[in-house]
Structure 1
């Protein structure tokens, strides 16, 4: 796959048919025969090209081969390959991001005031990370950046970065002065713009169990962490309290339950050192195993 600027007119078929696309559209997949298989425009508009002439040729080729060697899969599978599945994955991921942004954008302006009382719990959780002066720490899904002052207090002149997927949350964080404690960056926590082994501590509050692919995220967090780096998963309420708040029993399938969380951490390079699921908070501390 590629991700490159698309010419104003993209050639679709062997008959020279073209379709005009807006400036700034990006090619997601192409080959020597077809100029464009898939493209995107902006953050939420996507297109997928299915050339009927290619299907007809593939059907004819499949029939010829089947007569000699027996059935070898549908023509669609042979010609189309993994592209639709990959495209569906991209769209699903974008839809997940869109829903997350929509949810938090509506709540961003009131978020800090509504949850300011939780700040001491955040400070106590950060203290359990074991950060040292001069180190680099990140707050993933930082929202309005409630953990960032505590991270700054522990690393001193080190680096503090807050990442969030929602621009409105970062705007609210900047408005209340959190940009003075560290950098605020718009990014997907599963695709961080950080060098490998560049971070000493990762703080993630109320994040992991809401991600569509937690293993992917944990691998990414391991990638950017230095050897011995610390990961702290936190929530200012325990699992049982949160379940009761939503009127449901505590599920054994909860990804944060220790029997579920520990093997996922092990499989992604982390070693669980502390598991504290109290009434007033949830806290799991892990260290990069490598």
Structure 2
């Protein structure tokens, strides 16, 4: 396991048991972000870096009983918390790295990723892997329940021009990874960048 993986697992593993209780009011923001993906009944969707699975129930509601929902995360303790919360009933849980997904190319209609981009060791390469598993024209949602400035303030840091999620950085990063950004929202109460997979 790489040092990057160890760091991510240690960071989230230490916080998994209390993650949901720290952010109890995020549910509506997750539901709104899932709605923005425009999923249909029967669609197949991945929650990349699913953590405790907060997006899984709204994803399941969007794709219905005939759809497929997969949650993938690198941290066992996060997936264990998802099971304790009963969210494994909304989708399959995979202990895996989003940098090497055990999914067929073009097998999904969409990818939802909450709070993921900042933790990617190799963002361009990792976004290309997410592109690989999505069909041409499929969608990507990069989400966080608070915007960049609010998150920086919460973490006691300042925003810098090299912030990966700044539109000026994220748009070309996505484009270079085979995605075309279709909308960008960065407000105090949510961050949401939507993109479609280019052919």
2:38 to 130, 137, 143: 130
User: Structure 1 residue 166 and structure 2 residue 75: aligned?
Assistant: yes
Report deviation, 1:106.
1.6
Task: Give the whole-Å Cα distance in 2 for the aligned partners of 1:179 and 1:255.
Answer: 31
Q: How many angstroms does 1:123 deviate by?
A: 0.5
Q: Identify the match of residue 87 of structure 2 among 178, 181, 189.
A: 178
**Structure number with bigger Rg:** 1
Runs of 4+ residues over 3 Å off in structure 1: none
Q: What is the distance in 2 between the residues matched to 1:159 and 1:107?
A: 28
1:139 aligned onto 2:47: yes
Matched residue pairs, number? 198
3-state SS of 1:160 partner? strand
**Which secondary structure does the structure 2 equivalent of 1:184 belong to?**
strand
For the residue of structure 2 that corresponds to 1:116, the secondary structure is coil
Structure 1 stretches of 5 or more lacking a match? 1-43, 45-93
Alpha-carbon offset, residue 113 of structure 1: 2.2
For structure 2, the 5+ residue unaligned runs are none
**Helix, strand or coil for the counterpart of 2:26?**
helix
Q: Find the residue that maps to 1:275 and give its secondary structure.
A: strand
Q: Of the candidates 269, 281, 285, which is equivalent to residue 178 of structure 2?
A: 269
* TM-score (normalised: structure 2): 0.96
TM-score by length of 1: 0.67
8 A Cα contact 2:8 2:119, kept in partner: no
Give the superposition deviation at 1:137: 0.5
Q: CA deviation at 1:116?
A: 2.6
Quote the Cα distance in structure 2 between the aligned partners of 1:282 and 1:125. 9
Deviates more, 1:230-239 or 1:94-103: 94-103
The answer for the alignment partner of 2:3 in structure 1 is 95
1:120-179 deviation per Cα after TM superposition (whole angstroms, max 9, x unaligned): 110111000011110101111111100000000111120000000011111111111111
> What is the Cα deviation at residue 99 of structure 1?
1.4
* Change beyond 3 A, Cα 1:243–1:114: closer
Query: How many angstroms does 1:266 deviate by?
Result: 0.8
Please tell me whether residue 119 in structure 1 is matched to residue 1 in structure 2: no
Deviation, 1:274, is: 0.5
SS at structure 2 position matched to 1:282: strand
Residue 107 (structure 1) shift: 1.5
> 2:164: which partner in 1?
255
CA deviation vs aligned residue, 1:42-66 (integer Å, no higher than 9, x gap): xx5xxxxxxxxxxxxxxxxxxxxxx
| Distance in 1 of aligned mates of 2:186 and 2:36 | 14
